[in-house]
Amino acid sequence: MRPVLIVLTVLAAALFAASLLTGPAGIGTVDGLRALILGGEGPMPIVMREIRLPRAILGLAVGAGLGLTGAAMQGYLRNPLAEPGLIGVSGMAALGAVIAIQTGLSATAALALPAAALLGAAIGVGLLVMLAGPRGGSITLILAGIAISALAGAGTALVLNLSPNPYAANEIVFWLMGSLADRSMLHLWLALPPMAVGAALIWTTGRALDALTLGEAAASAMGVSPSGLRWRLILGVALVVGPATAVAGAIGFVGLVVPHMLRPWVRARPGALLPASALGGAALLLAADIAVRLILPERDLKLGVLTALVGAPLFLHLIWKTRSGGRM
């Protein structure tokens, strides 16, 4: 195992524990862990098991999913600007989720929520791959991403504004920015299985992505089936981003920042970047989720605010570099 993976695993595990121990109830470390593992009487086990545990696991899973899909899309599109949040894949997933919730589909069948979000994400990533392709054209990718993002955002706002529910319109910000506040085990069981399948599917693309760095022709010569790779990638990204967005909203920039920071540590090999980015994404999202609880505990500050504060300057920097030097 590479040292970078060990460091990232330790970091993510530490942040997972910190996430479990962060909260307004002021539960001590020992008491909290005992209540979590052994249970017992009183409200403390409920807080630890029903409130903090699902939040921490979701932080880990959603962060890992976003890091992984970001790395995979960047590898396939051969473009460092690709990221599910920015180019509308998460937005399309949010639109699917909002439609499932507001039409009542998610109330009749619980699986309708992740399924609709998955479908939205698949349409988003499918459109992007169709338009931009693996040749790495930045302009096409960004323009297509802007269009898909804008369409998804407007659709989400429209559906929520049409809802008869007085709270619905205020939730536009959740779907645009994401939050893990007060998610329960029910959400976890809804999102985790499809995300695991999607992650496994993306895992299998590692070697093909490595081959693709030599160019499409060389990759084909090495036995990589272009259409097979494309479909595995689209399906894998949709399976991860769709359910993650359905329960946590659209969280941007995780899939951008993490692969960018870790790329030098894996000698820029897309295949090796996949596990590193998953671990790094988990660590980043857990850290952001701890921060929102420490900075403004009473306000439910959205996760996307923090990730954008870190990620947007980096995004501008990347655009600057692609503008002056062709592509990276």
Partner 1 sequence: MRGSVPVSDQIRGGLAAILLASLAAPAGAGPQRVVSMNLCTDQIAMLLAAPGQLISVSDLARDPRMSPMAEQAAAYPVNHGRAEEIYLMRPDLVIAGQYAPGPTVAMLRRLGLRVEVLPPAESIDAIRGEIAHMGRLLGRQRAAEALLARFDQGLGAARHDRDRGRAALYYANGFTSGRDTLAGAIIEAAGYDNIAADYGITDTTALPLELLVMSRPDRLITGARWPGRSRSEAILDHPALASVAPRTAGVTDRDWICGTPFILRAIEALE
Which residues sit at the interface with partner 1, rule CB under 8 A?
Answer: 23-25, 42-44, 46-47, 50-52, 101-102, 104, 106-107, 163-168, 170-171, 174, 181-182, 184-186, 297-300
**Which lies closer to partner 1 via its Cβ, residue 47 or residue 72?**
47
- Least distance from C-beta 297 to partner 1, angstroms? 7
Tokens matching residue 286: 């857990």
- Least distance from C-beta 298 to partner 1, angstroms? 6
**Which lies closer to partner 1 via its Cβ, residue 299 or residue 323?**
299
**Which lies closer to partner 1 via its Cβ, residue 166 or residue 223?**
166
Residue 281 CA to residue 256 CA, distance in Å, equals 10
Residues in CB range of 269: below 8 A, 6 or more apart = 210, 213
**Which lies closer to partner 1 via its Cβ, residue 164 or residue 264?**
164
**Which lies closer to partner 1 via its Cβ, residue 165 or residue 220?**
165
- Least distance from C-beta 73 to partner 1, angstroms? 27
Helices within 78-162 (DSSP H only): 89-102, 105-108, 112-132, 138-162
CA dihedral 191, 197, 200, 202 (to 10 degrees): -80
- Least distance from C-beta 110 to partner 1, angstroms? 12
- Least distance from C-beta 207 to partner 1, angstroms? 40
Residue 125 CA to residue 130 CA, distance in Å, equals 8
Show the CA angle centred on residue 159, arms to residues 153 and 163, nearest 5°: 145
Show the CA angle centred on residue 314, arms to residues 310 and 316, nearest 5°: 125
